[in-house]
Structure 1
Amino acid sequence: MEGLEEKLKGLSIARRSRPEEPTYLLDVALQSTGLLAVSCSDFAVHVHDKDTLDQLGECRGHDKPLCGVVFSRRSPGFLYSGSADGTVKGWDVRCPATEPAQMFKSDPSHSYCSFDLSCSDTLLCAGTEQVNDEDSFLVFWDVRKPGAGLLGVYSESHSDDITQVRFHPRDKDRLASCSTDGLVNVFDLSRGAEEEALLATCNSDSSAGSVCWSGADYTQLLCLSHDEGLHLWDLGQLDTEEPLTIFSSSDARGLTPLADRGGVDYLVGGSWLEDAQKLLVVGGKNSGDLHLMECDNRGLHLLRSLKGGHASTVRCFLWDAAEEALVTGGEDAQLLLWKPGGEDLASAKRESKKSESALKLKSRPHKKHGYQREKKEARQDNE
């Protein structure tokens, strides 16, 4: 089988797409039957053909920043979007201009900054921003009962913004969450109550920004922090005396020397490539250049650099295993498709198209060390 590095060497730009109005592209999701969904900083979700990148429609219904998009696996015509407006909405992408087909809410004080759908397509989970200076919540719904209200709430495991929740790709009851309180938690939801469901807590020692399930049986967990730290843990060691940490760095930007002897300026995210059995981490330069790296127990290793595509920071990517293609989106409003031997048939000037409104996109300051949980415990000790 051709190695991952050889596959990536053949990547070049096959298609470009830009919305009519400049906007940041924040997150991208792939539908099994050939669509892409892209969340944008103007609170809209754009629906594209994955091969041509032609925009086929859009879903508008949120009035605050989006926190992600995800397609249903068993009903691929159904798409979910979450938002800081305190809603998760379900859309029928066969008629994306209509009103949402489903809507999920919790307490009016809740503002969501992350959400995900379980691999069984039955459970939605959203993570809230911090409420009342000390609380944050994981809220759950049964998607088969959109009018039934909340299925449950976890309230004790995080004390600050829950920046990402990720269901396990194969185990419908396994959930990982991370927060600006620095903690990464793993739950077994089949155990019910929060205290019993909490299997493990890992500390990123910083403001945790994203998590990614990885490893041959998805027993590993990658965490990237807001200050570009990287941590890889092996949850298969939970019931042993072996350490969980496979690799850890408080600043991963300089781990992979580039041609200019410098490092990447930021990390975009990670993705486990099932066919290659490799953990792909994407980093970038502020100029728009991308660097594809493998992550293992030795750290990061450069596989391929992609230049000439984006003109500013890249916010999202996904790997299309069926096509062995990469999709990237960023702050230059460009959605790019990179394929082996691709030819840029929709070429355009490589220039930033940041709009004034996009530059004002809400960005929360993240605490790095003075975590609310520590402050709360200190207050209790003093009482």
Structure 2
Amino acid sequence: MSAVEKMEEQLASLSIAKRSMLREEPAYLLDVDVSKPSTAESSGFVAVSCSNKSIRIYNRETLNFLREYKSCPGVLHGVRFAHACDSVVFSACSDGTVKCWDIRLASQEAVQIFSGYPANVFISFDINCSDLIVCAGTEKVEQDTFLVFWDARGITNCAGTTKEPLGVYSESHNDDITKICFHPIEPNLVVSGSTDGLVNVFDINKDNEDDALISTCNSDSSVSFIGWSGKDYKQVYCTTHDEGFCWWDMAQLDTEEPITRLHVLDVRDAVCVENNSLQYLVGGLYHEKADKLFLLGGTSTGDIHLISCGTEGLSLVGTLCGGHSATVRSFCWNQEDESLLTGGEDAQLLLWKPGAVERSFAKKASMKIASSVQKRVRVHNSSLQSRKK
């Protein structure tokens, strides 16, 4: 059996190991991240960004709820742990800041605040693999969209301090910057995606924005998710708000070969799923051991489809059923133990493991959330629709 076949078999055998539910104040689970345990004794943590403007922290193994951070007055966008410290967690905020908390402390106060420029509204962010640079992307205000950068050093020993930006990139996108993703092993490389359809790769070691822009790829749609893939992570891919998929090879930039590996206008039409039940994409994950890229998609009733990507096209690996009862909005894949965390509009956080048996008798609840929380199912849907008229 090849590594890819083994990997696909493993993904298809994922079962629910643990389940946690927001019972007190139901909310959509919009983003999930897992810390890297700093010691052998530590089981690590899970952080979840919720639609009720809060971040919730859980034990990674048990999914027991540990604590919560409320961000008022701003809406939180995304959640990321520091790479070298499993107790430090970040989130971008619509109030023009990126906040950083230390979950070892009892305080609700952020230990570090990275402040943007006046009128900045941050809707995406990431921290690079060496924990030295934070970057956040803004909504378009008048004619301006920015990638804002900060020095992230010293985050754990300067409680409550505010950091000013190192600088910005302002010329490379002309609409909301929906996603930012630093390279997993090269701290100077970052990719950004926008509702303008562009996916830009930068080398931030360069002196100015023009020189830093290594490549501009066009998805021809509004970008909803971006990531790195391939050996040494030399490939970039994205999904779009109208369920498209694009995949590029940066290793071909200086060759005569085309950089596009695959461009699928609508994954729902390209993947054969029973009853046409692929309704949306959540994002992608690259599996290092198998050297294989996968997409996650789903249904409004909570089924999760795992889709394999190849240059020849896309194919369904398997479907995870019986977990969520509504649209899945977020996930996090853990390479170490081959587990998958998923969060949805049913306010449930699920941990899937190969061959797991759920020990809980809790029934899967179908949950209707008050309309005030029913945000746009896809960010920036409205701008897409107006563009298509």
What residue is the counterpart of 1:10 in the other structure? 13
1:250-304 CA distance string (max 9 Å, x none): 11112221233x1510000001111221112101011110111111212221111
> What amino acid sits opposite 1:229 in the alignment?
G
Paired residue secondary structure (1:367): helix
What residue is the counterpart of 2:317 in the other structure? 303
Q: CA deviation at 1:367?
A: 3.0
1:78 aligns with 2:88: yes
Q: Please, which of 278, 281, 298 is the counterpart of residue 264 of structure 1?
A: 278
Q: Please, which of 10, 13, 29 is the counterpart of residue 33 of structure 2?
A: 29
Q: Please, which of 165, 168, 182 is the counterpart of residue 150 of structure 1?
A: 165
Q: CA deviation at 1:148?
A: 4.5
Paired residue secondary structure (1:115): strand
Instruction: Rate the CA distance shift 1:91–1:155 in 2: closer, same or farther, 3 A.
Output: same
1:91-138 CA distance string (max 9 Å, x none): 001136521100011112010010000011000000000011x22000
What residue is the counterpart of 1:195 in the other structure? 210
TM-score (norm 2): 0.91
Q: CA deviation at 1:210?
A: 1.5
- 1:89-104 maps to which residues of 2 (within 5 A)? 89-95=99-105, 97-104=107-114
CA distance in 2 between counterparts of 1:130 and 1:183 reads: 14
CA distance in 1 between counterparts of 2:206 and 2:21 reads: 46
> What amino acid sits opposite 1:280 in the alignment?
F
1:110 aligns with 2:120: yes
Aligned 8 A contact 2:115 2:163 in 1: no
- 1:276-295 maps to which residues of 2 (within 5 A)? 276-295=290-309
What residue is the counterpart of 2:346 in the other structure? 332
CA distance in 2 between counterparts of 1:237 and 1:369 reads: 34
1:140 aligns with 2:145: no
**How many residue pairs get matched?**
369
Q: Please, which of 251, 269, 276 is the counterpart of residue 254 of structure 1?
A: 269
1:303-342 CA distance string (max 9 Å, x none): 1111111111000111112221111000000000111222
What residue is the counterpart of 2:224 in the other structure? 209
Aligned 8 A contact 1:41 1:358 in 2: no
TM-score (norm 1): 0.92
Aligned 8 A contact 2:12 2:320 in 1: no
> What amino acid sits opposite 1:31 in the alignment?
S
Paired residue secondary structure (1:205): coil
Aligned 8 A contact 2:195 2:380 in 1: no
Instruction: Rate the CA distance shift 1:97–1:43 in 2: closer, same or farther, 3 A.
Output: farther
- 1:116-131 maps to which residues of 2 (within 5 A)? 116-131=126-141
Structure 2 segments unaligned to the other structure (5+ residues): 38-43, 155-160
> What amino acid sits opposite 2:318 in the alignment?
R
Paired residue secondary structure (1:191): coil
> What amino acid sits opposite 2:151 in the alignment?
D
Structure 1 segments unaligned to the other structure (5+ residues): 372-383
1:170 aligns with 2:185: yes
> What amino acid sits opposite 1:135 in the alignment?
D
